[in-house]
Structure 1
Amino acid sequence: MTTEAPDVDEISGRRSLRPLGGVLTAMAVSLTGTRISVVALPWFVLVTTGSATLTGVVAFCEMTPYVVVKALTGPLVDRIGPRAVSWTTDLASATAAATVPLLHALHLLSFPLLLVLVALIGAARGPGDLAKEVMVPEAAERSGVPLERATGLSGVIERLASTVGPAAGGSLVALLGPMAGLTINAGCFALGSMVIALALPRGMGRGTAEDPSGDDGKEPGYWHRFGEGFTFLRGEPLLLTLIVMVGITNLLDAAISTVLVPVWAKESGNGPTVIGLTSSAMGAAAVAGSLIAAMAAHRLRRRTVVLVGFLLAGAPRFLVLALDAPLGVVLAVFAVSGFGAGFINPVLGAVLFERVPRRMRGRVNALGDSLSWAGIPLGGLLAGAAVTAVGLAPVLLVCGTAYFLTTNLAGLRPEWREMDPPGGRGAPPSPGA
């Protein structure tokens, strides 16, 4: 398979950082808008309906299309290229997101219509996030940046968005109301679309879109490509184990972010600002963890990094809220959790990109992401129903215990030995075929 030459500055003759910079900028803008919405939308539903269950329903209606459409889009990303998918779907997300505050201002926003709009946002956002993720390794290659460093930087971007977005969202909601946050979210999607369409080289994604023809000389069809992704994952026990584990932890993370923290903030009397504070404390510490991971992850034992990262990132957050600790203690625990979480995604991202051939990254990443995100729609839904039935503290204790057991039991699986490169600590990663 042939690939294009790396981007080179015509004057200096050096590789240009434009491809990687463009992808990371687009990720930063769209993720920041999404994190603002994570504060604004649940708070809007919670204060207008007074129902934790309905708040979970809204999260379910956004994330279910996100997961399903993302899974089905993988072969299309491989076929037409991630650049085109990214800017078009971000534009669609911006349109749907802008419609929410517009209809609310016109007093036309009913609850069923809100569910339809958030479903459209989720359906468009899934392919857009996938396309940006798929472009990271090619952008790193074009820019001459090591893969683990590129995945580490994308992790830093995600964590920065998780720091700035909730803080901005909490402040906007407190000062101007939740619709202001949703308006900013729409603007961020539109800006991200422009960055991808105008700043990235038009050749981005062509290498990913290439696919050999079948035995009859014809290009493989959609379902053939889709089936290839499933076949590949079935032959990768390590990836399957990681996907199942992350799927469970993502369900629990969705429960705490979309329902449990907002309910805790409301019951404690702290208001929407504290939702942003907890997310920002975690996000700021995660930035530090991601930066360290970007610089040093290739020198560390991956299994140890992932296990310790999950140990810090998971159960402590649930337990500190269940114990009704002072706000300062809550923020400190969330910060420690964020620091541990910052190490996880750079390592898991590097493992995934090393093991998946370039021509299959779209469909395999789509399936892997969708399976690992499959529990997210249920997280808020189940948490909302459980809080309504038994109260906040018991749900927090059960979720924290489940998080601890899931990550530690998964780490005992024999295939986890394959996580470290063949040469051991410090060995260079092997590129995708």
Structure 2
Amino acid sequence: MTTATPQRSPLRSWQFRRVLGAEFISSAGNQMTVLALPWFVLVTSDSPSRTGLVFLIQILPVPLLSMPAGLLVARWGPRRVTIVADMCSAMLIATVPALYMADALPFGLLLTIVALLGSVSAGYLSAQRVLLAEVVGSDEGTLTEGNALFETATSTARLVGPAISGILITQVGALNVLWIDAATFAVSAALLVGLPRREAPPRPVSANNMVEGVRYLFRDPVLRTMSLAALGYGTLMPVVMLALPVMAKSRYDADPHVAGWLLAAWGGGTALGTLVVARLARNIPPTRLAAGGAVGTATALWFLPLEQPALTAALTVGASCMFLPAVTAPATALITLRPPEELRANVLPVFGAAVFIASPIAYGVAGLLFEHLAVGAVLAGVAVGASLCALVLLNLSRRTVD
């Protein structure tokens, strides 16, 4: 009598560990660039307006090119697009200090390089989740857990990257930090080189496939509802992020330490939440997990408008961010797996572009709101919006048999 060998989880495979490691390293490098590149522009030009323009030019191509990037992922495959994106990012970032040292970096050329970096990021963002699905497989619970671990790597990098960059800038200067940034992308690409190639040849794709991907997203009731909720959070949470320094100034005597605690609570809560979701994902259906996370997020956000000590405010921020991965990880897993395989690379960019466009708009609107309204009133509006998102996801959970 033979006994069956227990099947090893894809999340314990060397392929998944390489993808996770590459995501952490490239995200840390990207976060280092987010600080080092604008700082380099600020100290070399002494122009805050030019620094702001660098931010805008780098982020603008991502929503604009997300759909063409989806076509590229469908044609080339996510592994190849991710590796090429990492290598291009490494070369583009290294070009900045190289040209500056050669006294051949006018501001117009720098903006061109930054725009190219943003264009490359569009391809990377379109490919990364499809690559994760190829490595992990098509089980919803496993992919949700994988997405949670993926988000853990990303959120941890968001904490580590700027901190390391800030220390290195003071030690070696922003110019040399850009060399280190370039190296992180090269290491990320090297980790992905050994992944198995896609066995099936890529299907022919065209703009019609992308249109069909958009139609599928709006036709499928689960994906439509999850996308609507994700768009809601993509609009609401940037308002909370911008509210943190405003709260530190208006409520806590403009204490920069309080602003730091609140921002740290944001990152720490997100990192903790992704770890919890990774443990729950196999046992709770995605729509039910998303509904629970939405209720937790909305409940925590109702405490944020209240006048309170800085410590409890930080705990409230951390709690709201801790519940949020329970919404985002299942949403990403469902949007990755529910469409037919030939449409996945076309549906994901549409979803990502909508959320990505919402964030900068939310930052702009939030800035105007905080100029004319009390921070508590704005945050109460955020809590109302989060409660509506929770009701939408609760209704979906009751209607859906996972």
| TM-score, length basis structure 2 | 0.79
1:160-218: CA deviation from partner (whole Å, max 9, x where unpaired)? 22232233233334544444544433222222122222x212x24x45x644xxxxxxx
Q: Sort the Cα spacing of 1:195 and 1:367 in 2 relative to 1 into closer, same or farther, 3 A.
A: same
Contact 1:19 1:142 (C-alpha < 8 Å) held by counterparts: no
1:404 aligns with 2:383: yes
Q: Which residue of 1 aligns with 2:401?
A: 422
The amino acid that maps onto 1:305 is G
Q: Which residue of 2 aligns with 1:61?
A: 57
Alignment of 1:62-141 (within 5 A): 62-105=58-101, 109=105, 111-141=107-137
- 316, 319, 325: which one aligns with 1:336: 319
Contact 2:247 2:375 (C-alpha < 8 Å) held by counterparts: no
Contact 2:63 2:356 (C-alpha < 8 Å) held by counterparts: yes
Q: Which residue of 2 aligns with 1:216?
A: none
- 341, 351, 357: which one aligns with 1:358: 341
The amino acid that maps onto 2:278 is A
Alignment of 1:13-24 (within 5 A): 17-24=13-20
1:196 aligns with 2:192: yes
Query: How many residues were matched structurally?
Result: 389
Task: State the Cα distance separating 1:106 from its structure 2 match.
Answer: 5.2
Contact 1:281 1:335 (C-alpha < 8 Å) held by counterparts: yes
1:225 aligns with 2:209: yes
Q: Which residue of 2 aligns with 1:311?
A: 298
- 351, 355, 364: which one aligns with 1:368: 351
SS at the partner of 1:299?
A: coil
Q: C-alpha distance in 1, partners of 2:55/2:374?
A: 18
1:154 aligns with 2:174: no
Contact 1:78 1:363 (C-alpha < 8 Å) held by counterparts: yes
1:254-274: CA deviation from partner (whole Å, max 9, x where unpaired)? 5676x7768989994749x97
Task: State the Cα distance separating 1:69 from its structure 2 match.
Answer: 1.7
Q: C-alpha distance in 2, partners of 1:369/1:37?
A: 21
SS at the partner of 2:208?
A: helix
- 334, 349, 356: which one aligns with 2:332: 349
Q: C-alpha distance in 1, partners of 2:139/2:176?
A: 37
Gaps in structure 2 of 5+ consecutive residues: none
After superposing the two structures, state which structure 1 stretch, 73-82 or 281-290, moved more. Answer: 281-290
1:292 aligns with 2:276: yes
Gaps in structure 1 of 5+ consecutive residues: 1-7, 212-218, 424-433
Q: Sort the Cα spacing of 1:337 and 1:58 in 2 relative to 1 into closer, same or farther, 3 A.
A: farther
After superposing the two structures, state which structure 1 stretch, 404-413 or 361-370, moved more. Answer: 404-413
Contact 1:19 1:143 (C-alpha < 8 Å) held by counterparts: no
Contact 1:93 1:124 (C-alpha < 8 Å) held by counterparts: yes
The amino acid that maps onto 1:304 is A
SS at the partner of 1:125?
A: helix
Q: Which residue of 2 aligns with 1:238?
A: 222
Q: Sort the Cα spacing of 1:290 and 1:144 in 2 relative to 1 into closer, same or farther, 3 A.
A: closer
Q: Which residue of 2 aligns with 1:3?
A: none
Q: Sort the Cα spacing of 1:110 and 1:165 in 2 relative to 1 into closer, same or farther, 3 A.
A: same
Q: C-alpha distance in 1, partners of 2:166/2:244?
A: 13
| TM-score, length basis structure 1 | 0.74
1:32 aligns with 2:19: no
The amino acid that maps onto 1:27 is E
Q: Sort the Cα spacing of 1:238 and 1:115 in 2 relative to 1 into closer, same or farther, 3 A.
A: farther
Task: State the Cα distance separating 1:334 from its structure 2 match.
Answer: 4.1
Task: State the Cα distance separating 1:74 from its structure 2 match.
Answer: 1.0
Q: C-alpha distance in 2, partners of 1:337/1:107?
A: 48
The amino acid that maps onto 1:335 is G
The amino acid that maps onto 1:412 is L
After superposing the two structures, state which structure 1 stretch, 168-177 or 38-47, moved more. Answer: 38-47
The amino acid that maps onto 2:297 is F
After superposing the two structures, state which structure 1 stretch, 177-186 or 39-48, moved more. Answer: 39-48
Q: C-alpha distance in 1, partners of 2:347/2:282?
A: 24
Q: Sort the Cα spacing of 1:244 and 1:13 in 2 relative to 1 into closer, same or farther, 3 A.
A: closer
Q: C-alpha distance in 2, partners of 1:29/1:124?
A: 17
SS at the partner of 2:391?
A: coil
Task: State the Cα distance separating 1:102 from its structure 2 match.
Answer: 3.8
Q: CA RMSD in A?
A: 4.1
Taking every aligned residue pair, what percent have the same amino acid on both sides? 24
Q: Sort the Cα spacing of 1:378 and 1:181 in 2 relative to 1 into closer, same or farther, 3 A.
A: farther
The amino acid that maps onto 1:186 is A
Q: C-alpha distance in 2, partners of 1:109/1:397?
A: 45
Q: C-alpha distance in 1, partners of 2:183/2:302?
A: 35
Contact 1:309 1:342 (C-alpha < 8 Å) held by counterparts: no
Q: C-alpha distance in 1, partners of 2:101/2:46?
A: 18
Task: State the Cα distance separating 1:292 from its structure 2 match.
Answer: 1.4
Q: C-alpha distance in 2, partners of 1:416/1:110?
A: 55
